[in-house]
Amino acid sequence: MAEDNSLTTNEYERQPVPKHALLRFKSFVGMYAGEHCAGTELMIGPLFVVHGVSAVDVVFGLLLGNALAVLSWMVLTAPIAIRTRLTLYYQLEKICGRSLVTLYNLANGVMFCFLAGSMITVSATALGVWFEFPMPRLTDVYPNSVGWVMAVVVVGAAISLVAAYGYGMVARVANIAAPWMVLVFFAFGLVGLQRFIAASDQEVNSLASLWELAQTQIWTGGDPLGNNVKFTFWHVTFFAWFCNMAMHVGMSDLSVFRFAKHSWYGIATAAGMYVGHFMAWLSASVLYALQLHGDPTNTDVLPGPLAYKACGIAGLICVIIAGWTTANPTIYRAGLAFQAVVPSKSRFAVTLFTGAIATLAGVFPAIAMKLLGFVALYGLILMPMGAVVFADFWLLKRFGLKSYYAEHSGLSFNWAAGLTWLVTLAICLGLVFSGIEINGFQPFQIWFVALPGWFIATALYISLSRLYQSRVA
Amino acid sequence: MKVLLQIVSGAALAATLLPAVFYLTGSMGLPQVKTLMLGAAIVWFIATPLWMGRGCDGQPGE
């Protein structure tokens, strides 16, 4: 998951980024490599095992899905970003009008709160190793001990206070910790692998025997745990592609790539995808598969204990820092989004309020334990506005329609964009809940539905704009 | 001084990963891996802030 964007400075919020402020390619590589090694990777990797993935599905699904994600940044986001050099919010304001952007901010802020909540959950599992209170199980919806609630509240309060007092210090800690965290994630995988080799009495002396171990012992492709959906190659591919959907298809990273000299800089996202969303996910899932191998009844997905068993106190420090440094900017961003809704309130108060909501969300383990579904929903909710930006920039003029219609006509709520957002979401969620099955496969599960949803949103926005612009004009 | 600190940080990074590599090859035990990784973490977080990103305060956007 992507969190901290140190490149998305608050400069040039309402003007194109000038030439002298453009950044070099390596700035983007460093930023993406660091920000995608987040606390949530330690939840996502194990959850693949929970969903019963096989080695072929998870390895090749991640390779393909991450490549598609990189292409989405390169083909959809970066080309618009380097032409307009505006933030997503300012561009949306020109297209949608201030009132609709406020609504978008609200949705964005709420999703950020839940995301930050899951990061607080991850950090709190590290405290559980030290203080030995009962921690939530895979199927728990509600907190199961006072100790757990206290741990989440302490972690959440600390993170919220730091976010409220200012972001500079934690951004610096995040930058310093990033290279070290990447290597600790890699060490998780190496240690987990060796323990697997020892536990399974299998000799590994070549790539072929390593692959044999992966297929027969680590990612065996059996039934999913509990009542979770069985993940196939396509589930993994689409999850890897869309888990950062808000950033690429949803266009949130316009704010990042407006600083890029060329649109091919979008390939820098590969550093984040293949470090965080390949190596880190596989490493974390090896640790969880090892836990299940040792005790099939222990299905708890708890990053703290997993990391501690593999790498000791260094592993625990990694879990705490990974959760903290990523939850912090997420709360900060959610605070900014909410502040746009209530501009009369101070950023300090709004950020504390936001942190309280995130902490409350973190108390309930269901969000973290169902993170794969939540992340897909998060992307889906913000996706239609990305399609609106895409259609507005590339397609409207070809249909004889006006881009930046709200700015052009002085509207505060562009109904064509607003209806596109709501109707697309209604159709997509309707398809998800319809449970339609074709040859025993459900093509409209939450992980897949955003793909047809993007085409629906694009077509809807053009059609509604034609109708709306002819009436309003 | 900066170069020296960077060498120390580089050594700390090496000491973070190499014990796990040695453990994988069977030439080091897990307790030693954990101890070395903790030591490397302490060195990294003491040495690196002295040279990395000084005077920089990143601000997140949206």
pLDDT at B24 over 50: yes
Q: A332 and chain B: CB distance < 8 Å anywhere?
A: yes
Per-residue pLDDT band for A331 (boundaries 50, 70, 90) equals confident
Chain A residue with minimum CA distance to B39: A314
Q: A8 and chain B: CB distance < 8 Å anywhere?
A: yes
Q: A179 and chain B: CB distance < 8 Å anywhere?
A: yes
Q: B61 and chain A: CB distance < 8 Å anywhere?
A: yes
For residue A6, which residues of chain B lie inside 8 Å, CB to CB?
58-60
Strand, helix or coil for residue A452 = helix
Q: A283 and chain B: CB distance < 8 Å anywhere?
A: no
Per-residue pLDDT band for A6 (boundaries 50, 70, 90) equals very low
Picking from A167, A191, A332, the nearest residue to B20 by CB comes out as A191
Per-residue pLDDT band for A440 (boundaries 50, 70, 90) equals confident
Q: Which residues of A381-416 are buried (b: 16+ CB within 10 A; e: fewer)?
A: bbbbbbbbbbbbbebbeeeebebbbbbeeebeebbb
Mean pLDDT of A324-344: 81
Q: B55 and chain A: CB distance < 8 Å anywhere?
A: no
Angle at A127 between CA A123 and CA A130, to 5 degrees: 150
User: Are A93 and A105 contacting, i.e. CB atoms less than 8 angstroms apart?
Assistant: no
Q: Do A176 and B52 touch (CB under 8 A)?
A: yes
- Rounded CA gap, A317 and A404, in Å? 47
Question: How near does any CA of chain A get to the CA of B13, in Å?
Answer: 6
Question: How near does any CA of chain A get to the CA of B59, in Å?
Answer: 5
Mean pLDDT of A80-101: 94
Q: A110 and chain B: CB distance < 8 Å anywhere?
A: no
Beta-bridge partners for A23: A260
A161: CB partners within 8 A, 6+ apart: A352, A355
Q: List, in order of start, the domains of chain A with CATH numbers.
A: 19-376 (1.10.4160.10)
Question: How near does any CA of chain A get to the CA of B42, in Å?
Answer: 9
Q: What is A132-157 written as a DSSP string? A: ------TT-SS---HHHHHHHHHHHH
**What is the pLDDT at residue A66?**
98
**What is the pLDDT at residue A314?**
97
Nearest to A396 by CA among A454, A453, A461: A461
Q: A371 and chain B: CB distance < 8 Å anywhere?
A: no
Q: What is A439-451 written as a DSSP string? A: TTB-TTSTTTTHH
**What is the pLDDT at residue A166?**
67
Mean pLDDT of A410-438: 96
What is the per-residue pLDDT across A205-253, written as a single tens digit (0 to 9) for each? 899 999 999 999 999 999 999 889 999 999 999 999 999 999 999 998 9
- Rounded CA gap, A446 and A4, in Å? 26
For residue B49, which residues of chain A lie inside 8 Å, CB to CB?
172, 176
What is the per-residue pLDDT across A165-190, written as a single tens digit (0 to 9) for each? 866 777 788 888 999 999 999 999 99
Q: Which residues of A308-326 are buried (b: 16+ CB within 10 A; e: fewer)?
A: bbbbbbbbbbbbbbbbbbb
For residue B38, which residues of chain A lie inside 8 Å, CB to CB?
312-314
For residue A171, which residues of chain B lie inside 8 Å, CB to CB?
57-60
Q: Do A9 and B19 touch (CB under 8 A)?
A: no
CA distances from A305 to A6, A147, A200 (A): 30, 16, 21
Nearest to B13 by CA among B32, B50, B40, B31: B40
**What is the pLDDT at residue A4?**
42
Q: B46 and chain A: CB distance < 8 Å anywhere?
A: no
Chain B residue with minimum CA distance to A255: B61
pTM for the full model?
Answer: 0.92
Pick from A3-17, A43-57, A69-83, A169-183: least confident: A3-17
Q: Do B37 and A315 touch (CB under 8 A)?
A: yes
Q: Do A313 and B38 touch (CB under 8 A)?
A: yes
Per-residue pLDDT band for A472 (boundaries 50, 70, 90) equals low
Q: Do B45 and A176 touch (CB under 8 A)?
A: yes
Q: Pick the residue with more confidence: A11 or A371?
A: A371
Tokens 């991850």, located at residue: A122
Q: Do B62 and A88 touch (CB under 8 A)?
A: yes
Which tokens go with A140? 């728990």
Q: Which of residues 4-33 of B touch A (CB under 8 A)?
A: 12-13, 16-17, 19-21, 23-24, 26, 30, 33
Q: B47 and chain A: CB distance < 8 Å anywhere?
A: no
Size of interface A-B (CB pairs under 8 A): 118
Q: A107 and chain B: CB distance < 8 Å anywhere?
A: no
Q: Do B40 and A314 touch (CB under 8 A)?
A: yes
pLDDT at A3 over 50: no
Largest CA distance in chain A: 75
pLDDT > 90 in chain A, percent = 75
For residue A9, which residues of chain B lie inside 8 Å, CB to CB?
58-59, 61
Q: Do A176 and B49 touch (CB under 8 A)?
A: yes
pLDDT at A11 over 70: no
Q: Do B20 and A187 touch (CB under 8 A)?
A: yes
Q: A410 and chain B: CB distance < 8 Å anywhere?
A: no
